Amino acid sequence: MWHNVILPLWLAALAIPAGSTVPPSGKPVLPIEVLGPDGTTATQTIALSAAKSASAEFLWLQVHGVRYPEQASVQVNDGAWIPLRNETVIVDEPGAIFGGIGGGFSTLEVTVALVKGTIVAGNNTVRFRFNQSDGLSSGYRVLAWNFLTTEGRKLVPAGDFMEEQPEAWTPPLDDAASIQAGKQLWSGADLISSSLPHSPRIQAHCADCHALDGRDLKYFNYSNTSIVTRSEFHGLTELQGKQIASYIRSLPFPHPGRPWNPPYQPGPATDSQPISNWAAGAGLAWVLNRDVDALSFIFGGRGTGSIRTAADAHTLASQITPAFFRPDGDLNPREIPIALQLPDWSQWLPRVHPKDAWGKAFAASKFAVWYDGGTATGSKNKVRVKESLRTQLAAAEKGHGEMELAIQGFHRWSQSRQAFLGQFVKGNTIWSPELSKKVYSTQLWQLVKTWELMQEFALEGRGRAFFGPIAESRTWCNSVAAETAPAAAHIPNGPAGVGGKALTNEYLTASWYELQIVLNSGNHQHHDRQPVDWVYAIHEFRQLYEQTHEAEPARLLVAVTKALQSCDPHLGPADYEKGWRPEKNVDPRILVSAGWKAMFAPLPGEVQRALTQSMLSAWMDKNQQYPIAEYLPLPVPPHDSRYLYGDISGGKVWESAGEFRAAGVSADLVARLQNWGMAYTDRAARLQYH
């Protein structure tokens, strides 16, 4: 229903009725949801003392879903309406790095300069207006706002606002007939693409783009008002919208999320929460302002602080040991906060359903029918129910020894997507914005349905049932997140890319690869290039840097470490596909390579030395667990091109001994590297490898 022919970034749950949002307590309620037809306005009023009003210079906003320049405006008292766009506001970091308004992040913090005298002693009224829809959006949300001094001090205490509590929400219509009608509308109502004039009818229904039973709207706490307004956006009546909202409210599912909190956003203590809370993420509060601030969480373990002084750098360097990089270790990326805001649920939802993108070709495809046997696609060529992925997962849920079949089922589904899209995308394809939208939306559809299946069959907490005792306790059992990246489908940067610009395209690629690392980085069961193509994924850090010019050494180090830890610690190099093969992975040269120097430039020299020493030491310890004879001969031609990428993978690390020495690595460790290299080279020569 919500994401159809032209609906990419769903801004549902972003509405309130026009007027003031002041409860009986007298405190303004947050968030302010501004959603509806063009011109919809929401208002809040707050009182300031004479002293505070005299020092107020700016309006500060935390906004969710402001995606384009013509979308939103704000007015303070009788001042002029100020449009929210990059030219009229200051966007805080890290949002500004990723393009600000119209960029990658769904939630931004912005500061608006006010004309002197705009703010007065006593009541001050702030109005928020949804200017006009672009055919995709129906509004935005203000999560927080305040007046600021020149120094950036907030003048309104946080306690003067009240946070809305979803637990208090009730169905708009609580009779059984209305709820049943809402359920039927959810799965079968005829919809139009948007509220724009002459909007076409679409084939997709609500349940096609969302979770089949609507549990995603319940889980992420989309409000009644938003569901009603969005229903009207798609051509339904207010009554029908209330019926759908009543159905959603009645669902017996957990609902820890919020629309603005990115699913699975990492943060401390994530694993101490119930598994049912995992998808809700750690919240926007754990999106760091600076990437380097994550280092204290990685090495200190408790977020002991930022690197501000030489003493801070010395303390951090002393905490860096080889244990962090140990390939047999278990670094937990779920609990390490990052400065990358992952996509929110609106960014998960497809812009156009595959039914409307590809027509009958989708309905008849193995990709469609493998999802659930064809029951949701209208295909006449249904496979038998016992052959569907849904049936295999039902067996796995019941513990019938079908876990391996479930893993294989997701893999088969991914292969069928590749085959299906291969009909439309070939090596000589000329990309257009329309083609990119259709391809990317098809990938998003699979991602949403994967989330649906993981939740429906309670699979997220069964990692050890899937992968054995060395696996993560909570994990996905597939690589669908990484396969959602624009780069995975070779969608190009630039005007034809997702979002129409290289920065947005690269942000989304980086985000989906990051999500894959959080959800399933291998569980020590990595096989060939699954579930993460590590060399390619890590190269994407440099691709993103070319757009942002902002290095992310901490997030990169976590990815490199998880790459090293992706193999089964019980399998050595003799198992070429699943065992430890240093030439098939990223290696310690990444810390001394000239091509990667900029990526670590934000780190003090003492910290860089400690990192290089520790990573090389851990890497050498792992190499020397096995005799050289287990590394050679190879079952494939040497220097397999799939694993060669510049000077960070492919072997011959010992040839960079000089760079390691110059980086401050101890003489003893460099000698170990060289001696191991000589032994490897000698055996290769005897086997006539070149």
Q: What is the pLDDT of residue 644?
A: 54
- Quick one: how far is CA 83 from the chain centroid? 28
- Tokens found for residue 81: 């309406």
| Average pLDDT value for residue range 323-333 | 95
CA distance linking residue 232 with residue 191, whole number of Å: 10
Tell whether the model's pLDDT for residue 657 goes beyond 60: yes
Query: Do the beta carbons of residue 486 and residue 505 sit within 8 Å?
Result: yes
Q: How big is the CA angle at 347 (ends 345 and 353), to the nearest 5 degrees? A: 100
Domain extents in the chain: 19-155, 168-250, 280-335
The per-residue DSSP string of 199-230 comes to PPEES--HHHHS-TTSHHHHHTT--HHHHHHH
Work out the pLDDT band at 385, boundaries 50, 70, 90.
Answer: very low
Query: Do the beta carbons of residue 608 and residue 600 sit within 8 Å?
Result: yes
CA distance linking residue 567 with residue 590, whole number of Å: 19
pLDDT tens by residue, 416-472: 999 999 999 988 899 999 999 999 999 999 999 999 999 999 999 999 988 889 899
Tell whether the model's pLDDT for residue 273 goes beyond 60: yes
CA distance linking residue 356 with residue 347, whole number of Å: 19
CA distance linking residue 406 with residue 457, whole number of Å: 11
For residues 310, 311, 316, 320, the Cα torsion angle rounded to the nearest 10 degrees is 90
CA distance linking residue 396 with residue 462, whole number of Å: 10
How many angstroms separate the Cα of 496 from the Cα of each of 37, 349, 430, 488, 536?
Answer: 29, 20, 9, 15, 22
End-to-end CA distance of the chain: give it in Å, rounded: 59
Q: What is the pLDDT of residue 404?
A: 83
Q: What is the pLDDT of residue 391?
A: 85
Q: What is the pLDDT of residue 40?
A: 97
pLDDT tens by residue, 552-577: 999 999 999 999 999 999 999 999 88
Q: CB neighbours of 450 closer than 8 A, spacing ≥ 6?
A: 410, 476, 478, 480
pLDDT tens by residue, 658-675: 999 999 999 999 999 999
Work out the pLDDT band at 6, boundaries 50, 70, 90.
Answer: very low
CA distance linking residue 349 with residue 483, whole number of Å: 15
Task: Pick the closest to residue 461 from 452, 473, 449, 450 (CA basis).
Answer: 473
Amino acid occupying residue 575: D
CA distance linking residue 140 with residue 126, whole number of Å: 15
How many angstroms separate the Cα of 94 from the Cα of each of 90, 348, 504?
Answer: 12, 21, 14
- Tokens found for residue 332: 């937990």
Give the class (CATH, top level) of 19-155. mainly beta
- Positive or negative, the CA dihedral 173, 174, 180, 183 is positive
Task: Pick the closest to residue 99 from 443, 556, 549, 496 (CA basis).
Answer: 549
CA distance linking residue 365 with residue 361, whole number of Å: 6
Q: What is the pLDDT of residue 398?
A: 72
Q: Is 469 exposed, middle or buried (0-12, 13-18, 19+ CB in 10 A)?
A: exposed
Least confident interval from 164-173, 211-220, 303-312, 326-335: 303-312
Q: How big is the CA angle at 295 (ends 289 and 298), to the nearest 5 degrees? A: 120
| Average pLDDT value for residue range 398-418 | 85
Q: What is the pLDDT of residue 7?
A: 36
User: How many percent of the chain have pLDDT more than 70?
Assistant: 91
* DSSP label at residue 424: T
